[in-house]
């Protein structure tokens, strides 16, 4: 469940949750099925497209001069927010985890 199936890594989200190994084991079972993996990528791509549409809609109303940002920094940010295996993936996984926890009957359920 790294950020890139070709080069798996321990993403920040998982490091933050490492104190709860049983929870991570249950989560791993949920996300590791082929069905969930495909659904995750589908949702990632949907979020990217929605973000692009929102960005296009608000761009004329926002005064932001990206010429003031160093090209390498701007390229890095663009890479992180336009790739389905970077920031978007963690947002989708985080929202899915929130849903799973709120709707779980397991002992690791968080009360709200």
Q: 18 to each of 43, 44, 80, how far by Cα in Å? A: 25, 24, 23
Q: What are the sequence ranges of the domains in the chain?
A: 32-102
Q: What is the pTM of this model?
A: 0.70
- DSSP code of 84? T
pLDDT digits (tens, 9 = 90+) for 50-65: 999 999 999 899 988 8
Residue 29 near residue 91 (C-beta atoms within 8 A): no
- Over 50: is that where the pLDDT of 29 sits? yes
pLDDT of residue 112: 42
Determine what percent of the chain is predicted with pLDDT higher than 90: 22
């Amino acid at each position: 469940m790294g950020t890139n199936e070709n080069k798996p890594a321990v993403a920040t989200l998982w490091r933050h949750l490492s104190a709860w190994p049983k929870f991570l084991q249950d989560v791993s079972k949920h996300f590791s099925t082929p069905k969930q993996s495909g659904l995750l990528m589908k949702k990632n791509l949907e979020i990217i497209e929605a973000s692009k549409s929102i960005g296009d809609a608000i761009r004329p109303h926002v005064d932001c001069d990206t010429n003031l940002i160093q090209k390498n920094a701007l390229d890095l940010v663009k890479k992180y927010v336009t790739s389905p295996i970077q920031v978007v993936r963690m947002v989708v996984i985080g929202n899915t985890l929130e849903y799973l926890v709120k709707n779980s009957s397991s002992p690791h359920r968080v009360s709200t």
